[in-house]
Amino acid sequence: MHANRRLRIAIDMDETIADSLKEHIRRYNSEFAEQITADDLHGKHLEEFVPLDRSDAVRSMIRDESFFECLSVIEDAQQVIRELAHDHEVFIVSAAMEIPESFTAKHRWLRRHFPFIPACKVVFCGDKGIIDADYLIDDEARHFRSFRGNGILFSAPHNLLETAYQRVASWQDIRRKFVGLQTTDTPTKRNQLVSTSDQ
């Protein structure tokens, strides 16, 4: 008989718990007098969608430290993550090395909006393959390639054409998958969890 154990769940920041796209579009529309929306980006990042001569300007917007200070929280993320952290071991994991200017601002944002996640469970890294967890919830499918656990794709405009991974559309979807769930520490049980999680 195996005792129940808590799952280890790693959760991305940008476009998973922090609505960075909303702020990115707002700054772009303000800078270039445009009126694009998230729906326009189907299958593309903002920098891939805009005219080529604006791509560098779009990328530089997220290197401004003030960008991360004003991001809103994606709907229901706080409540569901609080519930997850009660039942499971939750880590916030960001590939912050891609934008090192963001370290301090991201940390302040997490302290403000997710104070119940201790600092020892916040990981800023480069390759998320280093993370040892059962699940990684992320909007970027590329992070699943070197991750040894199970990737769950959090829907965002840029990943709508991705079909290789199980997908969730909201934090309520995540609640239905995980809240109140525990598993025994055996390969058989873990495989059952993966195979039934979309049912």
Q: What is the 3-state secondary structure (H, E, C) of 119-186?
A: HHHEEECCCHHHCCCCEEEECCHHHHCCCCCEEEEECCHHHCCCCCCEEECCHHHHHHHHCCCCEECC
The token pair that represents 139 in the structure block: 């909007």
Is 16 in contact with 155 (CB distance < 8 Å)? no
Domains and CATH numbers, the chain: 4-18+73-196 (3.40.50.1000), 20-69 (no CATH)
For tokens 């873990």, name the residue.
190
Q: Which active-site residues does the annotation give? A: 12, 14
Q: What is the pLDDT of residue 183?
A: 57
The structure's pTM equals: 0.87
Please compute Rg for the chain using Cα positions: 17
Phi then psi for 88, rounded to 5 degrees?
Answer: -135, 175
35-94 pLDDT tens trace: 999 999 999 999 999 999 999 999 999 988 889 988 999 999 999 999 999 999 999 999
